[in-house]
Chains A and B, each alone.
Chain A
Amino acid sequence: MEPAFAILIGLFFSVAVYLLMSRQLVRVLLGVAIFGNAVNLLIFTSGRLLREVPPVIPAALQVPDVTIANPLPQALILTAIVISFSFFAFLLVLAYRAYQELGTDNVVEMRVAEPTGETAPPQGY
């Protein structure tokens, strides 16, 4: 089962990375969203896959009596989903405001912090 998912995750990463390298901010944002999913699936799969047995202990037992899905990656991913969502929302608003201020969505033209033609550092002591 895992190899099929590994290939799918590879594809997720390829698409995300390709989008992240774009010059259009919107595509970069799409890349960030897909990248988050790719990482979550990577964590999920490296904890090994098991069908349809959620990590919940039956009411009558103290410890699970059958093999259950690995709870650890799920706990990690649950945190990751929430954080990547807030990160995504922040980036989205940042991009929106950058567009409002600079009038462009092309990262090549966004040069307020690192203007072109900077002078050489001062010589002397």
Chain B
Amino acid sequence: MSITGPEATFAAVLAPFAAAAIAPFATRLLGANAAWPLALVPAAIFLFFAGLVPEVAGGASFAPAVDWVPAYGVSFSFYVDGLSTLFALLISGIGTFIILYAGGYLKGHPHQGRFLSFLFLFMGAMLGLVLGNDLITLFIFWELTSITSFLLIGFDHLRAASRRAALQALVVTGGGGLLLLAGFLMIIALTGVTDMATLLAGGDILREQALYPLVLLLVLGGAFTKSAQFPFHFWLPNAMEAPTPVSAFLHSATMVKAGVYLLMRMHPVLGDTALWTTILPIFGGITLLVGTLLAVRQTDLKLMLAYTTVASLGLLVMLTGTSWDKAIEGAVLYLLAHSLFKGALFMVAGTIDHEAGTRDVTRLGGLRGAMPITFAAACLAALSMSGLPPFVGFIAKEYLYDGIWGASGAHLTITAVAVIGNALMLVIAAAVALKPFLGPKVETPKHAHEGPVLLYAGPVALSLAGLAAAVMAHATGVYFISPVVSSVLGTATVVDVHLVPGYIGAALILSLITVALGIVLYLKLDVLRAQMQRLLAAIGWGPDKGFDQVIAGLVSFSGSFTRLVQGGRLDVYMTLTFLVTALALLVPLTLTGNWPSAVPMPDLRFYEWGILAIAVSGLIAVLIAKTRLTAIVSLGIQGFAVAVIFMLFGAPDLSFTQFMVETLSVVILALVMTRLNLRPRDHRPLVPRVVQGTIALGVGVGLAALLMRVTELPFDRSLSDFFETYSRTIAHGRNIVNVILVDFRGFDTFGEIAVVMLAGLCVLALIRVRPKHAREEAFDRAAGDEALQKSGEARL
């Protein structure tokens, strides 16, 4: 594996995992400053993928692969093209600053090393997800992101809210992951294609399948849960329980985009059908509106941002769902813009929380003097989020409006949803970026001042990147947007991105409407918030509450079901076990028509009949014995009958052993039973006796029939022949049974001896451990004697 060129993708994906192993030790050595050297890992990955950009922009794609499970056609393979390169750049680029930010944010935390380790694990998983070519490879990384997200959300595991949020995220995204796995397996089963690159080259290979709707729904199940689409949106705001670096990295910039990535990735093979263009815009549109409206209600900076993230994901899904070329161009631009400004804003919110001690927007104000750098970064990011020039957010909005109104005809509903959503997003951007910094100074729990460079490096870099991407619009278009749009559309496309709109068109007018609406709504924010709170209080129920109800129902159901099947009664367990045994014997015999044929009169000699009769009488005597001694003796009768049977049919060794064992059994049974006041008689009522008798007969009949059928079939003597042939010639023993036991299967016999020894030790232990009350009695007696003695002495 070389360290340059596409093959090094393996190294790039595995490097974060290596860093995860080192992080705790580095943190122990260097403290918070360990973030500096550790951030070199994602920085190097970023540079590696940046180096691939010119080739990828030229239309090249790579698919390095190694065999993983060749027997099942599973390979460990990656696919590097425009889409995956942009995502890899975002993950490693933002990841670099997140690592730095985490160094400052959790400075002095006793588990900072563990935290960084989790972050690196996530980074590796996410890189593998977006680069994954083989469907199974992709799925495994997909699930790894869910698991690492669980670990990160539950990082502060001493708080119940964290635990709940972590579990909720895992259940929702993990459940969706199962749907996705089913979808992938169906794709493999239907087409025989196991990797994305081949699939994408296959054109209509999936759309022409009769089961296409099912495949689409399963894939959407994975994408919608991961990308928090309504009604699965509730886990994402709850995931804000995680430390802010996690919120900025996983739950805004990268992981939640995995669903959008999957939709974009599979658009060439799954998209552009009636089903696709119906489901995606509806769910995306609802998510956009619900997300922005719920964001307005919040006063917590992180939660406001979280709900706008839900909204942005809805917008991306809606745009991808239209399958219109221009709308997808807008979506790709918005994806890039969102990752930059949302990552920056989350870090700003975290810095405010860290330095001022609260992130409640109503308790913040006038921080501009205390935190000028953070304020500047917040403004830049918020301008991009608001869609104002000269930021990449503005370009994205121009292109997406052009996509849904101008270029592909006028689509009123989608446009209206987009305008309202964007206007509300402007409101939130302003509330997050302006409210804490402007206005009169408000007293905060901590004395606020600018954070260390570790904390403001990220927001500044990301917000400046949003500016740079817009100023160098042409390069952005050539190197990032065009290759990605080509990947999503499945055909080479050139997008000419420019900052200044070429003409005064519908898009610009829609932009102006959005801004005007946003400003009006911002001024009315308090009214709007109160209205939303009243509305939600009136509804009262939401999917979040529903999740609790489902989990509570599941726990109480499993509790009562366990009590039902595990009632703690041995006779019930036994009865159920043998009922199932009887059914397992009789039903297949009947269904497959394998009952034995008519039984001929067996050609037994008279003494053989005699020994059979003795065995039967012994059995019946055990059943009806009235006293325990009769039962024990009757048990001996059937045992000795079995020994005689062994003797008559050429098994003297067995016969000898059986005689010994039966004698010993009877002796120790008699010894033990005479010490107990036990009643061997059955005192059960009639009905259970009849039921159990029937079940017992069923088991007996089933086994007898099975044995008869088996003995009707020809016998395979190959093993017996082997032992007969080699017992003397190789093992030098004439008694074949003994040779098998001590030679051919010597280790089995060794195991048998071990079992006997263990049973003996257990018996010894059971006998030696005295009953508790017996011990106490002995103690009492000793104490009593002592007292008596003392009183005697006193009397003397």
Contacts and interface: CB of A to CB of B under 8 A. Distances in A.
A121 B558 CA distance: 9
Contacts of A51: 648-650
B707 A108 contact: no
B111 interface: no
Contacts of A1: 602-604
Contacts of B697: 14
A17 B699 contact: yes
A89 B600 contact: no
A75 B740 contact: yes
A10 to B, nearest CB: 3
Interface string B659-703: 001001100110011011011111110000000110111011101
Interface in B141-169: 160, 163-164, 167
Interface string B613-626: 00110011011000
Contact of A26 (B628, B756, B766): B628
A89 B763 contact: yes
Max count, chain B CB within 10 A of own CB: residue among A1, A33, A64: A33
Contacts of A85: 661, 664-665
B661 A77 contact: no
A5 B649 CA distance: 12
A8 B612 contact: yes
B703 A10 contact: yes
A116 B568 contact: yes
Interface stretch (B96-104, B196-204, B389-397, B714-722): B714-722
Interface stretch (B50-58, B272-280, B513-521, B637-645): B637-645
A86 B648 contact: no
Contacts of A55: 650, 724, 735-737
A44 B619 contact: no
Interface in A52-111: 52-59, 61-64, 68-72, 74-75, 77-79, 81-83, 85-90, 92-94, 96-97, 99-101, 105, 107-108, 110-111
Contacts of B725: 63
Nearest to B599: A3
B410 interface: no
Nearest to B563: A118
A122 B160 CA distance: 14
A33 B631 CA distance: 12
B654 interface: yes
Contact of B729 (A63, A79, A93): A63
A23 B689 CA distance: 11
Contact of B575 (A21, A46, A114): A21
A53 B294 CA distance: 88
Nearest to A101: B771
Interface stretch (B285-293, B308-316, B741-749): B741-749
Contacts of B558: 121
A62 B651 contact: no
B741 A21 contact: no
Contact of A75 (B602, B648, B741, B771): B741
A96 B670 CA distance: 12
B596 to A, nearest CB: 8
Contacts of B569: 107-108
A102 B574 CA distance: 21
Contacts of B596: 3
B28 to A, nearest CB: 31
Contacts of B559: 120-121
A78 B661 CA distance: 11
Given A92-B672, A107-B571, A25 B708 contact: no
B657 interface: yes
A4 B639 contact: no
Interface in B529-588: 552, 555-556, 558-560, 563, 566-571, 574-575, 578
A26 B612 contact: no
Contacts of A6: 704-705, 707-708, 711
A78 B657 contact: yes
B649 A50 contact: yes
A21 B720 contact: no
Given A69-B649, A74-B654, A64 B737 contact: no
Given A33-B635, A70-B720, A113 B642 contact: no
Interface string A22-35: 11111111100110
Contacts of A27: 680, 682
Contacts of B778: none
Nearest to A3: B599
Given A30-B622, A113-B568, A14 B651 contact: no
B669 A92 contact: yes
B657 A12 contact: no
Most chain A beta-carbon neighbours within 10 Å: one of B574, B615, B692: B574
B752 interface: yes
Contact of A34 (B556, B574, B622, B646): B622
Interface of A: 1-15, 17-30, 33-34, 37, 40-42, 44-59, 61-64, 68-72, 74-75, 77-79, 81-83, 85-90, 92-94, 96-97, 99-101, 105, 107-108, 110-111, 113-116, 118, 120-125
9 contacts: A4-B602, A4-B604, A17-B695, A44-B649, A57-B728, A64-B724, A68-B724, A71-B740, A77-B651
Given A52-B648, A97-B766, 17 more contacts: A11-B616, A11-B700, A12-B638, A14-B700, A17-B699, A23-B683, A30-B680, A33-B639, A37-B638, A42-B703, A56-B736, A57-B735, A77-B654, A93-B762, A105-B678, A108-B569, A121-B559
